[in-house]
Structures are given as structure tokens and as C-alpha cells.
């Protein structure tokens, strides 16, 4: 009953138009590389979740994507197109996680954290906070040693609030694959149309559970998304 009531309330609020920053949507990028391997610059494919463990950076949005996608406003609008949005009423519980992308900046806190919105952009994440679902943290590779402009995402599927939002079994692989399924092809939001090409890069990160948060094993695959605005 509580979930049904929340869905009705969310549906009513979803008619409120989201404020989208005015940006120029370019079709091409000045990037010279899709991304740089963080390990080559002394970084890691795991972020820092505390206690000597981390969560996998298992999705990369290529630096060859349309430049507007790679801005803060751009990634938010794209996220809404593929079923994610800001946290419930902008409220974030828990400390931000940092990541070292090997770009010369060292460990930098996440740019933002976005959650599955169940089709109700801007407010549906309140439901995700209750029943669990997919979410991701965003990191930008733009340092002096490796300035690709690519966005590295730490994607995972989490349990509901009664389980304290812990990651579901196999939640890193499951979360990545769910995001891919939502993103691939043509999607639209806020008057913008996106086309996403997906490439799976096998064994790019270490396979297994060593150093991974919650001891949940990963399969080593990173998804590379190249997103163009049509």
C-alpha cells in the first residue's frame, strides 16, 4: 500500500518540468582518446569506499561522445533519458567516495550520484531509496596527465532501505548490465535525442573480489559508451 501511494504521488509530481541548463549540443568531440587507463597513471579501476576497499568503475562514457554529454548538466539530462535522476529531494546519506583516475589529480570525490527513477524523472528516486534499484557515481578524467574528458561510472544495484542499501549479490555486474540495457540505442529527454553505442572491454579490471567493497566479485568487464546527440 505504501509503495502504491508513493507511485501515485510521484506521478503527480512528475509533471513539473525539470530545469535544464542552456548548453550548445555539439555532435563531435575534440578528445584524442576515448579514455586513459587509470592504472597507467597510478590510479585504479576501483574507487575508494573506505576501509581499503572500493567499488568498480565498470562503465566509461567515452571522451569521443558529444561534448555536451560530458558536462554536469549534460550527464544529468542523459541520465534522465536512460532512467536515472538526482537523489530524492537532493538528500544524500553517506559520505562521497573518491577515485583516482590516473590523470594527475589524485583521489577526487565523486562529481554526483544518480539513482534509478522508475520513469519519474526528478522524483522517482524517492522510490529507489525505498525499494532499492540501480545507481551510479560519476567521476571525470580531466587532469594534466590524462585529459580525456571521459566520465567513469561506478554502477551497482542496491537492496532496499530495510537492508541499508547494501549491494545485491553480483550487484556490480548486474548494475552495469542493467544500465547498458537502458542506454543502448536511441533515447530522448528534455528535447534532446541521444544515440548510444556500447562496447564491452573484457578483463580490463582485475577479476574477482580482491579489494572490492562487500566482497562481491566482479567479472573484469568495463562497458564503454559512446553517446552522440542527434
| pLDDT at res. 158 | 84
**Mean pLDDT in residue range 97-108:** 98
| Nine cell digits for residue 206 | 582485475
Q: What is the pLDDT of residue 130?
A: 61
Angle CA(115)–CA(119)–CA(121) in degrees, nearest 5? 60
Q: How confident is the model at residue 90 (pLDDT cuts 50, 70, 90)?
A: low
At residue 215, the pLDDT reads: 96
Q: Where are the domains of the chain?
A: 45-229
Read off the pTM.
0.83
Q: What integer pLDDT is reported at residue 225 of this predicted model? A: 98
Distance CA 34, CA 199 (A): 12
**Looking at residue 125, what is its pLDDT?**
61
CB-neighbour burial class of residue 202 (10 A; exposed 0-12, middle 13-18, buried 19+): exposed
Of the listed ranges 82-96, 105-119, 146-160, 194-208, the least confidently predicted one is 82-96
Amino acid at each position: 500500500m505504501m509503495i502504491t501511494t508513493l507511485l501515485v504521488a510521484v506521478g503527480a509530481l512528475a509533471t513539473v518540468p525539470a530545469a535544464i541548463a542552456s548548453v550548445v549540443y555539439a555532435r563531435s568531440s575534440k578528445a584524442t582518446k576515448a579514455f586513459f587507463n587509470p592504472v597507467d597513471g597510478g590510479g585504479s579501476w576501483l574507487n575508494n569506499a573506505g576501509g581499503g576497499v572500493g567499488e568498480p568503475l565498470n562503465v566509461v562514457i567515452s571522451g569521443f561522445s558529444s561534448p555536451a554529454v560530458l558536462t554536469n548538466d549534460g550527464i544529468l539530462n542523459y541520465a534522465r533519458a536512460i532512467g536515472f535522476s538526482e537523489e530524492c529531494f537532493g538528500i544524500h546519506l553517506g559520505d562521497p567516495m573518491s577515485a583516482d583516475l590516473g590523470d594527475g589529480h589524485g583521489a577526487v570525490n565523486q562529481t554526483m550520484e544518480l539513482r534509478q527513477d522508475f520513469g519519474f524523472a526528478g522524483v522517482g528516486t524517492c522510490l529507489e531509496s525505498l525499494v532499492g534499484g540501480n545507481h551510479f557515481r560519476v567521476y571525470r578524467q580531466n587532469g594534466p596527465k590524462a585529459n580525456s574528458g571521459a566520465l567513469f561510472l561506478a554502477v551497482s544495484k542496491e537492496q532496499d532501505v530495510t537492508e541499508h542499501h547494501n549491494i545485491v549479490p553480483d550487484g556490480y555486474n548486474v548494475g552495469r548490465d542493467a544500465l547498458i540495457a537502458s542506454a543502448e540505442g536511441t533515447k530522448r529527454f528534455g528535447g534532446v535525442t541521444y544515440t548510444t553505442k556500447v562496447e564491452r572491454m573484457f578483463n580490463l579490471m582485475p577479476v574477482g573480489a580482491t579489494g572490492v567493497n562487500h566482497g562481491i566479485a566482479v567479472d573484469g568487464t568495463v562497458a564503454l559508451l559512446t553517446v552522440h546527440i542527434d
